[in-house]
Chains A and B, each alone.
Chain A
């Protein structure tokens, strides 16, 4: 029987998701033996032209990591969608924009201006910005158009499966690929992750009576001597209760509060507001005024509550400078 055909692509990504595919360790050999890899820029030398020449729906499974930040990425993911039977979004960037979508707080112009004119490490004395088209003496050169915002993959194309995390745990990648090979993937759309929230996988225990007088920064962090004490109860922004399970609470086991990379749990619409309601109910204030004051002391709420999912949030992004 012919082997299933698989493609892997990255758009606005860091490479971490691709590395996690390789981090499946010796299983990568089984995976490589079980499928035909048709496209995987980080690992194999296939070109966009090779994808264009494929028949429609030729790829059985296309795994895409990274959000959509420019016109080339939009073009390639739409092309891959056409060439694929099943598309899976791998990692926070593809699922909900991820860290690069923190840029959605600014428009394209202010990002370009800062990066190419104002950073201390740049010496752009003539001041040009990258142009989508440039007429070199030998011919026209083109680069993609830089969009005003980052988009999640399913804001551009239909996505059947989601493998969350930043980066996703290799165990989930193996779980998804094994199910794909055995034909046991659940009906789409579906998320391949754990059950419940990160709190359900965390060795620490929430104390329902806990109250927080002052929310602290992780710079002030010394792990509570009692390894059972919940970090949220201790006044740290631990996004565990508003984060999809599946990472086995890796960060908390290393004494780092959860930053929410696994995305929102099933059934939650807006993760930031869900988390904010936990924070508000834990805040020890007798009046609304006092509560506001305590919460206003938190530096960079957007970056803490929506670190991985601004394109999918109700607040959307963009703040005026």
Chain B
């Protein structure tokens, strides 16, 4: 593993032209080569939780808003 100090970082924040939220962090070494890249999803709404216990036919009206 390269030392953290020499890592250069490129942030793509936000990623665009798609439905949803995301960002990408790319780490480069001293020669400009990609060492690692992280795709992050900075979003959660929790439909999994708040759909519980609701009448099943109402879900047809709730989940289109995911």
Residues of A near any B CB (own CB < 8 A): 10, 12, 14-16, 18, 41-49, 69-70, 72, 98-100, 102-103, 105-106, 110-112, 114-115, 119, 130, 136-139, 141, 143-144, 146, 166, 217-219, 256, 259, 299-300, 303-304, 307
Contact = CB atoms under 8 A, between A and B. Distances in A.
A219 B55 contact: yes
B20 A15 contact: yes
A42 B19 contact: yes
Closest A-B pairs by Cβ, 7 of them: A138-B27, A111-B46, A219-B57, A99-B65, A15-B19, A100-B45, A102-B50
B65 A14 contact: yes
Nearest to B63: A99
Nearest to A300: B54
- Contact residue range for chain B? 35 or more
A12 B45 contact: yes
9 contacts: A42-B17, A42-B19, A70-B42, A106-B49, A111-B46, A139-B25, A299-B55, A300-B55, A300-B58
A303 B59 CA distance: 11
A169 to B, nearest CB: 16
Contact of A106 (B2, B50, B54): B50
A10 B21 CA distance: 9
Given A141-B25, A144-B42, A44 B16 contact: yes
B33 interface: no
User: Which of B2, B17, B20, B45 has the largest number of chain A CB atoms within 10 A?
Assistant: B45
Given A42-B17, A130-B44, A98 B65 contact: yes
Contacts of A141: 25, 38, 40
User: Which of B25, B43, B57 has the largest number of chain A CB atoms within 10 A?
Assistant: B43
A200 B1 CA distance: 68
A146 B42 CA distance: 9
A136 B49 contact: no
Contact of B58 (A12, A46, A218): A218
Interface in B20-66: 20-21, 25, 27, 35-36, 38, 40-50, 52-58, 61-62, 64-66
A242 to B, nearest CB: 17
A103 B52 CA distance: 11
Contacts of B35: 138
A137 B1 contact: yes
B16 A166 contact: no
Contacts of B14: 41, 47-48
Given A103-B49, A114-B48, A141-B40, A43 B56 contact: no
B39 to A, nearest CB: 11
